[in-house]
């Protein structure tokens, strides 16, 4: 029997990322889980207006999305516990810049995306930022013939219910493929 839980958002797990922005001329990183794909070339982020990072994104029109592996769990959690208003969080990382010049990227994260802000939606408590990915950087070690292997990236997944960090499980099948058998038999889903 189904039990009603009330209006609970259960869209978890989500990858935990470190979003970078240049704030007051210095790099700052914020931990974010409410990040999504708007279209194949764009990402969205739901960032509370109380955070320090927002002003840098608005000022420069740029930001970065860095994907940490599970071995960066403590540093990632720290960037979600402490505000750049009080601490220089960037000093924990080797920071580099790409073509956009104002989107700080983290060397220690196996995947980095440089983004240009395209839209800002003014929600009551959150800024919804949408950005176009203009360049992506990857550690060679996580590539298989030039393609990112997410098992090697070992992303840090976040679940709100238990406020937990989780890791990726095993691959179960191929998308747009395992269902072909049912499609051929014309069995309703």
Residue ranges binding ligand FMN (CB under 6 A): 16, 28, 30-34, 46-48, 51-53, 77, 80-85, 158
Cα separation, 106 vs 147, in Å, equals 20
Cα separation, 12 vs 126, in Å, equals 19
User: Toward ligand FMN, which CB reaches closer, 143 or 166?
Assistant: 166
β-strand partners of 39? 42
Output the smallest distance, CB 50 to ligand FMN, in A. 7
Query: Residue with CB nearest ligand FMN?
Result: 80
User: Toward ligand FMN, which CB reaches closer, 34 or 132?
Assistant: 34
User: Toward ligand FMN, which CB reaches closer, 49 or 152?
Assistant: 49
* 73 three-state secondary structure: helix
Q: Are 76 and 16 in contact (CB under 8 A)?
A: yes
Output the smallest distance, CB 159 to ligand FMN, in A. 9
Cα separation, 111 vs 136, in Å, equals 7
């Amino acid at each position: 029997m189904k039990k009603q839980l009330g209006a609970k958002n259960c869209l978890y797990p989500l990858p935990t990322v470190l979003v970078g922005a240049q704030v007051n001329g210095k790099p700052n990183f914020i931990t974010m889980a409410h990040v999504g794909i708007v279209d194949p070339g764009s990402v969205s982020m739901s960032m509370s207006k109380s955070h320090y990072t927002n002003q840098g994104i608005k000022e420069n029109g740029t930001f970065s999305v860095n994907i940490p592996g599970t071995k960066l769990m403590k540093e990632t959690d720290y960037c979600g516990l402490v505000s750049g208003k009080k601490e220089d969080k960037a000093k924990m990382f080797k920071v580099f810049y790409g073509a956009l010049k104002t989107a700080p990227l983290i060397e220690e994260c196996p995947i980095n995306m440089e983004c240009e802000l395209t839209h800002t939606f003014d929600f009551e408590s959150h800024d919804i930022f949408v950005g176009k990915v203009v360049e992506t950087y990857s550690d060679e070690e996580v590539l298989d013939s030039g393609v990112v292997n997410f098992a090697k990236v070992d992303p840090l997944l976040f679940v709100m219910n238990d406020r937990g960090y989780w890791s990726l499980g095993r691959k179960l099948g191929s998308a747009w493929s395992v269902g072909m058998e049912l499609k051929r038999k014309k069995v309703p889903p």
